[in-house]
Structures are given as C-alpha cells and as structure tokens.
C-alpha cells in the first residue's frame, strides 16, 4: 500500500499549547467584539 496525500491529511491534528492559547485569546477577543457590536446595535435601534 502506498501512502497518499489523503492518508497523510487524514491523521489527527495535535495543536501545541502555544497555538491553543493563541486561538483562545483570539476567540475571547472576537466574542468581546461581538458583544460590543450587539450592544451598539441595540443602542441605535432601541
């Protein structure tokens, strides 16, 4: 059996702890922006 690119890509991805921490920080930032936009919308719309 030969190994194809599909076989290699099908493996499980394991993120480093640094990547996980960075992604968590981005998620927190995006959720904060979402909440601010929602509040601004309701302030304008009523």
Distance, in Å, from the CA atom of 10 to the CA atom of 20, rounded to the nearest integer, reads 20
Q: Evaluate if residue 4 carries a pLDDT over 80.
A: no
Rounded-to-10 torsion of CA 14, 17, 20, 22 = -140
Q: Give the pLDDT confidence score for residue 2 in this predicted structure.
A: 67
Tens-digit pLDDT profile for residues 11-42: 788 899 999 999 999 999 999 999 999 999 99
**pTM given for the model:** 0.64
- Burial class from Cβ neighbours inside 10 Å (0-12, 13-18, 19+) for residue 30 reads exposed
- Burial class from Cβ neighbours inside 10 Å (0-12, 13-18, 19+) for residue 18 reads exposed
């Amino acid at each position: 059996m030969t190994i194809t690119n599909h076989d290699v890509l099908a493996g499980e991805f394991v993120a480093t702890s640094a990547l996980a921490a960075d992604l968590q920080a981005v998620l927190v930032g995006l959720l904060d922006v979402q909440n601010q936009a929602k509040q601004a919308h309701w302030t304008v719309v009523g």
